Structure 1
Amino acid sequence: METVKPYNEIDKAIISLDNGGRFYNLLTKAEDGIISQAELGKLGGIFNDKQKMILFLELSISKLKENEKEIIISKLDENLKKDYLKYKPQNLLPSEVNEKGILSSNMVLTGVPELIDSKSDFNGFIIIPIMTGKVTTLTLIPMIDNYDVYELRDEKTSETFIIAHSKTSEKLPNEKIIIAGVLKELEKNEKGIKEKFLEAIYQIRN
């Protein structure tokens, strides 16, 4: 999971975002007042994942004032504005996700993560594709085999929500942080219920 450092000043944000793109983006120009997908992708180290780009953008400008955020959004090119409207993340408390969270959408949560390190404490399953030659099969595996699983605690209610965090990333601190990712769901449990979880992509540490 990557750490995003939000901008505190709009001028620095604009200069960084309106960067001209990568060297092969011949149709984009730096500091022309328009922020394109190529430029946002360069800043975030992202190529074609529009949903991830918008999540990165939203976190990058999250510390700016509301009117400053509006200025940034107004500078997006028309295609990127459409992507922003489509993928703009939900900002919820962990206690609100099950009721208000929209599956497959970007989401930003704030809370205190606590690692679940035992399969006896968490037995949620996910489906992953496995390639065998030219054949792809879907296999059911415990999520805890593929991810570090955390409970993100809501400080207001003490309710928790499940976070799936890459095992190759640094362990999350047991302190209040902002975590952003995509809302997904586990396979049905023994009660026939599909629980939601957040596949973490970015974090902001206070």
Structure 2
Amino acid sequence: MINGEAARRKVATAFAEAVDELVRDRMDGLVEEPDITSRLGQRLEDRFDGQILAGHRVRVISETVTSHGRGSLEKPLGADLYVALSVEDACGLTTTKGVLIQAKRRDRLDPAGLSKQCRRMMHVTRKGSVAWIYTRTGVDVVRATDTTKKEWPVLSASQFFDAVLKCTLGDLRRVPNGSFGNRRALKAMLEKMGADNAIWLELQEQ
């Protein structure tokens, strides 16, 4: 998606710092995971929408639903957050990856329960399912496929965004229909995935 290593890492680090900062702030209280997760989209919108980052113009939209349609995967899936990340290169070619996220606080983590929820997400996408573990220092990321292991390899938030932008994480099939900014398409994808929150980020090479 972004071939240049320096630009990719700059973008990944910027997104990660915003996410980690919000999680650190909220973890100081007794808030539940849904409160933290619901604020992430607005944080990214406030900080990056319309900005130029590593030679890319950033656009961000987020969506939240309180109920899901009859055809949603809410009960069997139970993802907390759906993220779509699009990159448009200088030739106008756009690549979009979708990621499903199950979010948990570290201090209230049930490893067996999380592993079970991640297996449900993997029925939809193995390439694009992860767990975000909220800690007092930020976000630890575990690939859903790794939650079946005795010890879980952990990625930082920066490594997570870098992996998506490098096309080693995320699913090309689980993306909204239509061009960026189509909130109807984003909401439809969110309801289909049974998640409560969605974030769609786009990077346009300048």
TM range (shorter): under 0.3
- Give the TM-score normalised by the residue count of structure 2: 0.26
Larger relative helix fraction: 2
- Give the TM-score normalised by the residue count of structure 1: 0.26
Higher relative contact order (CA 8 A, sep 6+): 2
Larger relative strand fraction: 1
